[in-house]
Structure 1
Amino acid sequence: MRENPSLDVNRYGPWALIVGGSEGIGAASACLLAAQGFNLILVARKAEPLSALAQELAGAGVEVRTGSVDLSQPDALDRTRALTDDIEVGLLLYIAGANDTRGNFLELDPQVYRSVIAITVIGQAEFTRHYGGLMRERGRGGIILAGSLSNFCGSATVAAYTGAKAFSRVFTEALWAECVEMNIDVLHVVVGYTDTPAMRRLGLDTSSAQSPEDAACEMLAAIGNGPLLLLGGEASLKIATARSQLADRGEVIRTAGTPRRESMPHVSAN
């Protein structure tokens, strides 16, 4: 049976900001945190799932604020700050960053890779700098930035995505080293194969994937054990290890990189 993690509201609260909090691991994290007395700010692009989740959490006796924010736009942080400047955010979870468009980089619409870089690189840096800076002033807090197994090597048709995820991991590792003396816990979460709505929308077979609830439990329980958490158990560790080999990188990329979508198991042909 899964054991829910216990987080100290006095250390990480009273408010938790979840960027990408409308579904999947973000929504599962919101439910776990609400049950422990955290007030929540949930930010994502689509307003409808945010509203539905806020209604679901209403019975937990905590306050929930939601904001429909396009994280690929330059005003994403300002729009989020409009929800948080009058409260104390002690926990930042940046879970957003799924990829639904593939193609050779030289043939992509520039808006595709600009959006990927804006959400994962610029977004994580900007949100971390603002909310982490406030945590530094208070001398406490926690930051969790989510990445992907794809960060360990470049892969064809997802060049910007794999590059952005590599930034996320290395950035978080450096941030962890800097924040130890500030009493801010920092963790990078490498998300493995997870049964999220985003994966199902792509038509992928998620029957053997980790549930968002299990992923969220594992992630929140590890917040004080940074800098890196690899979700997905032994299978994810095997993939990460294969992709991290330094010798013969060309062969590593050809054989161990993220496969082209047409070669992945699908529920239906999409």
Structure 2
Amino acid sequence: MDFAERYGPWAVVAGASEGTGREFAKQIAAQGVSCILIARREGPLAELAEEIRQTGVDCVTASVDLTKPDAVDRISEAVGSREVGLYVNNAGADANGSRFLDKDVQAWVDLAQRNVMTTLKCCHHFGGPMRQRQRGGLLLVNSGACYGGGSFMATYSASKAFDLNFAEGLWAELRGYGVDVLSLVLGQTDTPAYRALLAEKGQALPTNWASPVDVARVGLAQLPHGPIYNWGQTNDVAGWAPSSPDTRRARILMIDQHSRSTFGD
């Protein structure tokens, strides 16, 4: 199957208003897949949707705050009866740049709600029909923070570690049903949100960060080869991660085999 057959006819891109989310939407549309764009800000979504429609591809938008408990209900309403073959979870950055105890706890609750509960609910909502149709894809944009905690990253690292293990488990469950799952683990990436955080902290811009165009291109290419891709590294190399994606994949398959022998297929 080509891209549109495998992941169409509609894709949902959460966090589509700027940066990598915007590029994911444009590159998915370029493959002939219609897009449902989700983010808080209506203006950038409307602008991007019009740009995509100019290429002859259908596109709709929905202004949804992904930190709210009703986010998935609102996304579901926007999707309606459309058949979604690809879900891209691109929303998940940490704009706080703060130690855990120096910030009001609600900021961390909102971050965890968006990165954990909204992600979990969306994957359940869209993954079920994909499994039934035996085709589709779930692409969770992740961060190298998933591999360990640190100052200023306690909640963020924890939420991204959940996303990593969640994607690995979903990949193990869905690989026999034709549904691809990928945790796309990024390093420093040139996005407006990251630029704003660096400017707030008085930090210089990196010289070797990834571009949103490349992130979307590589992420979509790696989607059939999950469950993990570490940015800038081949899948047989650990590099800056504790272990390589190939090593983790073998471990997941071992755990999966044990789980199946315990709980059944």
Range of TM-score over shorter length: 0.7 to 0.9
Distance 1:16 1:237 in 2: 31
Q: How many residues align?
A: 236
Q: Which residue of 2 aligns with 1:257?
A: none
Question: Could you list the per-position Cα deviations for residues 83-111 of structure 1 after superposition, in whole angstroms to 9, with x for gaps in the alignment?
Answer: 11210000000010011113332332111
2:34 aligned residue: 39
Structure 2 CA distance for partners of 1:231 and 1:7, relative to 1, 3 Å = farther
Say which of 108, 119, 138 aligns to 1:143: 138
The answer for unaligned runs of 5 or more in structure 1 is 1-5, 243-270
* Cα 1:214–1:237 shift into 2, 3 Å: farther
Aligned counterpart, 2:61? 66
Quick one: distance in 1 between partners of 2:184 and 2:156? 16
CA distance in 1, matches of 2:156, 2:215: 21
Displacement after TM superposition at 1:7 (Å) = 5.0
Tell whether 2:199 aligns with 1:201.
no
Q: Which secondary structure does the structure 1 equivalent of 2:95 belong to?
A: coil
Q: How does 1:106-117 map to 2 (within 5 A)?
A: 106-117=101-112
Give the aligned partner of residue 125 of structure 2: 130
Runs (4+) of structure 1 exceeding 4 A deviation are: none
Please tell me whether residue 153 in structure 1 is matched to residue 148 in structure 2: yes
Superposition pairs of residues 240-259 of structure 1, within 5 angstroms = 240-241=241-242
Offset at 1:128?
0.2
Q: Measure, in 2, the Cα distance between the counterparts of 1:36 and 1:146.
A: 20
TM-score calculated relative to the size of structure 1: 0.83
1:214 aligns with 2:214: yes
Q: Matches of 1:156 and 1:16 in 2, distance apart?
A: 36
Q: Give the root-mean-square deviation of aligned CA atoms.
A: 1.7
SS at match of 1:223: helix
How high is the sequence identity, in percent, across the aligned residues? 40
Matches of 2:2 and 2:145 in 1, distance apart?
29
Q: Deviations over 1:133-157 (max 9, x none)?
A: 1111212111101110111111112
Number of the residue aligned with 2:178: 183
TM-score computed with the length of structure 2 as normaliser: 0.85
Asked if the contact 1:199–1:206 (Cα under 8 Å) also holds between the matched residues in 2, the reply is no
SS in 2 for 1:72: coil
Counterpart CA distance in 1 for 2:206 and 2:186 is 14
SS for the counterpart of 1:60 is: coil
Deviation at 1:213, TM superposition (A): 0.3
Measure, in 1, the Cα distance between the counterparts of 2:125 and 2:140. Answer: 14
- Contact preservation (8 Å) 1:190, 1:229: yes
The answer on whether the counterparts of 1:200 and 1:206 sit within 8 Å (CA) in structure 2 is no
